[in-house]
């Protein structure tokens, strides 16, 4: 769009494409030079005086003349999502250092032939001379043979994700007998208030839901929840722009579009990462939120990957959320990924659990790869927590079997069946990662970066009466950053909890937030008090089935994020 060197022949490019050309003078400058454009607070309208606003005005003119236009084709084909094999900086310009003029391509009906050119020295330097090519005269000439474009469409799935699809599609696993589901029975659980807590720079707010007894529209209920969230954040001198990850639980997936419309009004650029699923909330509650925010010292401490364009690489967001939020180049929250076909944002048709699972896993990996490439390969992302949200209980075993061992580093992995997923998807994958980068001081007091791998730890406690506790944790030995899931089955007594606390206390220090997954039943839950305390933000999430990598049919799963 911002043509400088190639502007001498831009009319020929338009003629070769057989499309109209719209041009305007750039009056602004590169005011915003960061990786994110606009403000994170709601209502931001761009940056006054920035050259992007000139482009916006020109696109608005085009849109008014051609109202059926639905998108803009961008030239940064291999950046962010798409960049995978290119250099960040390369003497031959493969990192995007050089401006180019295309003389021929499959989209051209004719090709450009240069008749007269001139090399112009822009900056004469002994080591890095800068020059550009001025086009004095050029013409269009016919192309040889068929001029119809036949663009290459890449394979939908990469090799190992194609294998995931094949494992599910070819599975002859017989359906197992699952316990009867009681999704609509309200559990007799303790009253949990919406509370917040600060642990270092982290702030968590749990169990945000309506408190009003009046009849509310869904739009009003969403607004009430966000006003409550804002009130909690204000206690710590924060606002919604500090939100890192928000999980949204709806009573019906039919509310998804209406909730999104209101949700979007509370954020500007680079909104938080998000997962949104439907669960069996007790009436009259129709939406429940939980949030983790971060009080960054500098804007660069929080980086977002927020891609809204269509490509063959990975899907654009289908709501007001970023694909990923990275905090201080350490902890990474990946939004829940369903198995959309990236180029269309549609689910496979006919519906296919095998293809959806492979795509959701591939989307997560490609988001992580994009983040790693943007960091110039300074770190590798290591999963500390993976949650597979599913719609059907029989699908759980197929997904678990196909995805088993797909992570390079073992991490707590939770499989939960809920009421429904966005767009009618069958599976959604949500991940929390860590780069393993920590600042340490050497013997001279100088700060250096130390890179570690997370340690995976698991264990269990069983009793003769069938009661069982199991835990999985990913943590760093020299730092409290950890994700832990504790699974509970049957009625447990205080002796079990006392033993559990002794065995896991070193890996769940500085608890930031707790998500309590539970199967509704008539049995009053008995939970370990060291994880569900009055001062720990805890969000109850009713599920229809709970499993981990080795065991099915848990009654509860307590998911803990520690600083």
How do residues 485-536 score in pLDDT, each as one tens digit? 999 998 777 888 888 888 888 778 889 999 999 998 755 566 777 776 678 9
pLDDT in tens, 164-204: 999 999 885 544 445 545 444 544 455 678 999 999 999 99
pTM over 0.75: yes
In sequence order, what are the residues at sequence separation of 6 or more whose Cβ sits closer than 8 angstroms to the Cβ of residue 66? Answer: none
Q: Is residue 277 part of a domain?
A: yes
By residue range, what is the domain housing residue 254? 189-295
pLDDT for the residue 244 = 98
Is the domain of 287 the same as that of 352?
A: no
Cα–Cα–Cα angle for 319, 336, 203, nearest 5°? 90
**Residue 340 and residue 378 in one domain:** yes
User: Is residue 426 situated within a structural domain?
Assistant: yes
Is there a single domain that holds both residue 430 and residue 474?
no
CA–CA gap between residue 295 and residue 274 (Å, rounded): 18
Residue 133: predicted pLDDT: 85
**pLDDT attached to residue 423:** 96
Examine residue 92 and state whether it is found in any structural domain, yes or no: no
Q: Do 233 and 311 belong together in one domain? A: no
The residue from 276, 295, 314 where one domain ends is: 295
Among 408, 429, 453, give the residue marking a domain's end. 453
The mean pLDDT of 110-129, rounded to a whole number, is 86
Question: Same domain for 421 and 300?
Answer: yes
Shared-domain flag, residues 318 and 430? yes
For residue 360, tell me if it sits in a domain.
yes
Q: What's the token pair of residue 511?
A: 């608890």
- pLDDT interval class at 48 (50, 70, 90): confident
Q: What is the mean pLDDT of the chain?
A: 86
Q: What is the mean pLDDT of residues 34-51?
A: 73
* Cα–Cα distances in angstroms (integers) from residue 378 to residues 100, 381, 452, in the given order: 29, 10, 13
Reported confidence tier of residue 89, pLDDT bands at 50, 70, 90: low
Asked whether residue 452 carries a pLDDT value surpassing 70, the answer given is yes
Give the domain-ending residue among 453, 479, 496. Answer: 453
On whether residue 354 sits in a domain, the answer given is yes
Within this chain, do residues 468 and 439 fall inside the same structural domain, yes or no?
no
The 10 Å CB-count burial string (b at 16+, else e) for 217-255 is: ebeebbbbbbebbeebbeebebbbbbbbbbbbbbbebeb
Q: What are phi and psi of 394, to 5 degrees?
A: -60, -25
Taking the C-alpha atoms of residue 357 and residue 398, their distance in angstroms, rounded to an integer, is 10
The residue with greater pLDDT, 132 or 468, is 468
426 near 384, Cβ under 8 Å?
Answer: no
Query: What is the pLDDT at residue 81?
Result: 47
User: Tens of pLDDT along 266-312?
Assistant: 998 889 999 999 999 999 999 999 999 999 988 889 999 988 888 88
How many domains is the chain built from? 4
CB proximity list for 368: less than 8 A, separation 6 or greater: 324, 332, 334, 381, 431, 433
* Shared domain check, 325 and 305: yes
- CATH number of the domain encompassing residue 193: 3.30.1330.40
Asked if 324 and 443 sit in the same domain, the reply is yes
With contact defined as beta carbons under 8 Å apart, do 111 and 104 qualify? yes
Distance CA 106, CA 87 (A): 25
- Residue given tokens 């307590």 in the structure block: 558
Q: pLDDT tens, 137-155?
A: 999 999 887 666 677 788 9
> 548-563 pLDDT, tens per residue?
999 999 999 999 999 8
Residue 510, phi-psi category: left (phi > 0), alpha (psi -120 to 50), beta (remainder): left
The mean pLDDT of 158-166, rounded to a whole number, is 92
Q: What is the pLDDT of residues 305-333, one digit of tens each?
A: 988 888 888 888 878 999 999 999 899 99
% of residues, the chain, pLDDT over 90:
54
The mean pLDDT of 102-123, rounded to a whole number, is 90
Domain assignment of residue 408, yes or no? yes
Band of the pLDDT at 83, cuts 50, 70, 90?
very low
* Spatial distance between the Cα atoms of 543 and 504, rounded to a whole number of angstroms: 25
Q: Are residue 441 and residue 467 in the same domain, yes or no? A: no
- Whether residue 154 lies inside any domain: the answer is no
**Comparing 85 with 462, which gets the higher pLDDT?**
462
- Together in a domain, 477 and 438: no
Say if residue 199 is in the same domain as residue 244: yes
* DSSP per position, 425-476: -SEEEEEEEE--EEEEE-TTS-EEEEE-PPEEEEEEEE-TTS-EEEEEEEEE
CA-closest candidate to residue 428, choices 514, 359, 518, 366: 359
Query: Burial, 162: exposed, middle or buried (Cβ in 10 Å; 0-12, 13-18, 19+)?
Result: middle
- Residue 331: count other Cβ atoms within 10 Å of its Cβ: 22
Given a cut of 60, whether residue 94 has pLDDT beyond it is no
Domain assignment present for 87: no
């Amino acid at each position: 769009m911002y043509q400088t060197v190639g502007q001498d022949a831009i009319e020929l490019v338009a003629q070769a494409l057989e499309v109209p050309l719209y041009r305007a003078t750039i009056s602004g400058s590169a005011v915003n030079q960061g990786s994110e454009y606009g403000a994170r607070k709601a209502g931001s309208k761009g940056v006054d005086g920035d050259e992007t606003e000139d482009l916006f005005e020109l696109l608005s003119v085009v849109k008014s003349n051609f109202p059926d236009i639905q998108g803009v084709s961008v030239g940064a084909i291999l950046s962010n999502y798409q960049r995978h094999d290119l250099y960040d900086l390369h003497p031959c310009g493969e990192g995007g250092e050089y401006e180019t003029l295309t003389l021929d391509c499959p989209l051209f009906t004719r090709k450009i032939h240069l008749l007269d050119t001139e090399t112009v020295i822009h900056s004469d330097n002994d080591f890095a001379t800068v020059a550009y090519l001025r086009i004095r005269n050029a013409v269009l000439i016919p192309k040889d043979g068929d001029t119809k474009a036949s663009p290459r469409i890449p394979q939908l799935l990469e090799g190992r994700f194609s294998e995931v699809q094949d494992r599910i599609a070819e599975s002859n696993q017989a359906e197992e007998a699952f316990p009867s589901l009681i999704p609509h029975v309200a559990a007799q659980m303790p009253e949990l208030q919406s509370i917040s807590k600060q642990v270092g720079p982290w702030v968590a707010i749990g169990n945000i839901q309506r408190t009003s007894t009046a009849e509310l529209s869904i739009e009003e209920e969403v607004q009430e929840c966000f006003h409550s969230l804002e009130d909690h954040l204000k206690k710590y001198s924060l606002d919604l722009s500090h939100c890192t990850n928000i999980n949204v639980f709806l009573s019906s997936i039919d509310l998804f579009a209406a909730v999104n419309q209101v949700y979007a009004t509370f954020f500007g650029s680079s909104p938080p990462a998000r997962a949104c699923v439907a669960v069996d909330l007790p009436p009259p509650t129709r939406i429940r939120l939980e949030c983790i925010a971060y009080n960054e010292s500098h804007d660069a401490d929080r980086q977002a990957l927020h891609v809204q364009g269509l490509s063959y690489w990975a899907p654009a967001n289908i709501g007001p959320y970023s694909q990923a939020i990275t905090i201080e180049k350490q902890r990474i929250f990946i939004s829940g990924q369903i198995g959309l076909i990236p180029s269309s944002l549609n689910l496979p048709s006919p519906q296919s659990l095998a293809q959806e699972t492979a795509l959701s896993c591939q989307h997560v990996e490609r988001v992580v790869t994009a983040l790693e490439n943007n960091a110039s390969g300074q770190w590798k992302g290591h999963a500390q927590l993976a949650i597979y949200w599913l719609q059907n209980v029989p699908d759980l075993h197929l997904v678990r079997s196909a995805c088993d061992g797909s992570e390079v580093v073992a991490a707590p992995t939770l499989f939960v069946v809920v009421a429904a997923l966005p767009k009618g998807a069958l599976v959604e994958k949500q991940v929390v990662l860590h780069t393993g980068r920590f600042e340490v001081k050497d013997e001279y007091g100088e700060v250096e970066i130390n890179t570690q791998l997370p340690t995976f730890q698991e264990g269990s406690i069983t009793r003769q009466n069938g009661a069982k506790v199991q835990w999985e944790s990913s943590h760093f030995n020299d730092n409290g950053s950890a994700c832990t899931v504790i699974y509970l089955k049957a009625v447990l007594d205080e002796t079990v909890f006392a033993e559990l606390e002794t065995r896991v206390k070193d890996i769940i220090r500085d608890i930031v937030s707790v998500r309590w997954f539970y199967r509704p039943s008539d049995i009053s839950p008995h939970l370990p008090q060291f994880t569900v305390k009055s001062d720990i933000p805890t969000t109850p999430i009713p599920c229809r089935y709970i499993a981990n990598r080795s065991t099915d049919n848990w009654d509860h799963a307590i998911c803990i994020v520690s600083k």
